[in-house]
Amino acid sequence: MNKSLAISLHISSKMWTSFQQSMLKSRMFNEEVIGFLFCQRHQVSKRQIRYIPKTWVVPASDCYEHQSASGLVLKQHFHSYLLENHLQPGLDVVHIHTHAGRGLPDFSYIDDRYESEYARFIASSFPKKPRLISGVFNENLQSCQFRIWDRKGRDFEDVKFCNSLFEISENKQAINNVNLNYDFMFARQKIFGETNQKALNQLKVGLIGCGGIGSIFAELLGRLGVKNWVLIDPDILETVNLNRMPAATQEMVDQRWHKVHYIKHLIKKIYREGSCVKTIPISVESELAKQEIATCDLIVVATDNHLSRKTAQELALQYMRPLVCLGTHIDVKPDNTPRMYSRITVPPLGGGWCLMCGNIINLQRAALESAPLEINQMAANVGYLEGVNDPAVFWLNSICASTGVGVIHGMVSGFLNVDSGIDWIYEFPGNHWRQTNTEYLQNDDCYFCGMKGLEEVVHNSDLESSDLEDSDFILW
């Protein structure tokens, strides 16, 4: 197998908590237990592969033929049920089981033998030849090891397990290869910890929308320590943008700079070396843009239309990436008093609620924005689409962008818990911050992010006879 590959299994904190609790409930004392994840394979790059769980199953105690601290055997009809109902084409199988004890567990000779046989079994029994990833935890599911088998069951290689928002490299050479000048640059941020700064330096951010909010956001997050960017925006700088884009000039407008190149210019002014900025001056709906966003650790959308935010949310759900949505709104009351709002939204990683079911964006508007020009013109004529861009001012954009950077700093550092998501709205001139109670946003039936059917604890009484039940393979 290819030893140069970095392979990881990334499960959201929310999903892992539910899975872990279900595993612990399926035993009386310290008996071994097993659970299953069914994962989509994502080739991030030539050297990096991520496995993303799409569903999970934990057998209840009555699904075991034998269960003790020294081993376990599952009933054959549970195994048949599992493969028929959950192993969808294109998914790979993850087995997670426990060993007694509280130290770092290791795979046993029995694990080696049966996992090797099972890797061959599933690869030869299903058209898409799924792979087997196996994990062993200690009895309290705190310490673990993971590995992935080849399809012949002869060899395996290590898999990194990640149940946090971000995957941070453990390559000491890469971590220590930091310019001393930049170390000193962040000297006044050391209160947040060296690990936090290294995480920011490694973070790869996909920014969709490089206008009034996105430009301020990139400047602020860049100065916090983020050096790796994918910038997506099809627009070119115009004179009307100069009131709210820092360091943008009329000369840039005259030279027809793309906004993505303008923001790259800002970041390169911060870092003369050591930064990596990829510019994509096309719509996020393009396949190239989607492919690049999928390689990022964090997706940030700061656009003024609904379609691009919908696309960003779909990508975040598909590739299990954290999403931060930034936006502002200005209107005027009948007495000519202005009302101004900034909104920062972070949907929970892995589902629960999203920008669509949380009504942060309008699906009707998104559909109209994706329609041909003739349809858009008809919609504008009957009042469904406005013909003038929304009002915007630098200071309001700055509140939104700086709060968004603060949220991301908290996410990376761990001092802000976003497992249930956040939706914050600032209102001016009332000077109020409002925090939406995200419990009211939960929607298991959402077409885009609904959790119904993605997780399951199976009891023996739930099982039915199956065509696979005559298989000779018995799951340990």
> Mean of the pLDDT values across residues 298-309?
95
Q: Phi and psi dihedrals of 90, rounded to 5? A: 95, -10
pLDDT band at 379 (very low <50, low <70, confident <90, very high): very low
Q: Is the pLDDT assigned to residue 386 strictly greater than 60?
A: no
Q: Is the pLDDT assigned to residue 2 strictly greater than 70?
A: no
pLDDT tens digits, residue range 403-427? Answer: 999 999 999 999 999 999 999 999 9
Q: Is the pLDDT assigned to residue 173 strictly greater than 60?
A: no
DSSP letter for 360, please: S
Task: Report how far Cα 396 is from the mean position of its chain's Cα atoms.
Answer: 28
CA separation for the pair 163, 39 (Å, rounded): 14
Which pLDDT belongs to residue 334?
Answer: 87
Given a contact cutoff of 8 angstroms between Cβ atoms, the answer to whether 9 and 161 are in contact is: yes
pLDDT tens digits, residue range 206-239? Answer: 999 999 999 999 999 999 999 999 999 999 999 9
> Mean of the pLDDT values across residues 48-72?
91
pLDDT tens digits, residue range 423-471? Answer: 999 999 999 999 999 998 988 889 898 865 566 677 766 665 544 444 4
Which pLDDT belongs to residue 389?
Answer: 64
Terminal Cα-to-Cα distance of the chain (whole angstroms): 25
Which two three-digit tokens encode residue 362?
A: 């309008």
CA separation for the pair 329, 46 (Å, rounded): 42
Write down the residue that tokens 């956040």 correspond to.
Answer: 422
> Mean of the pLDDT values across residues 322-343?
92
> Mean of the pLDDT values across residues 330-337?
87
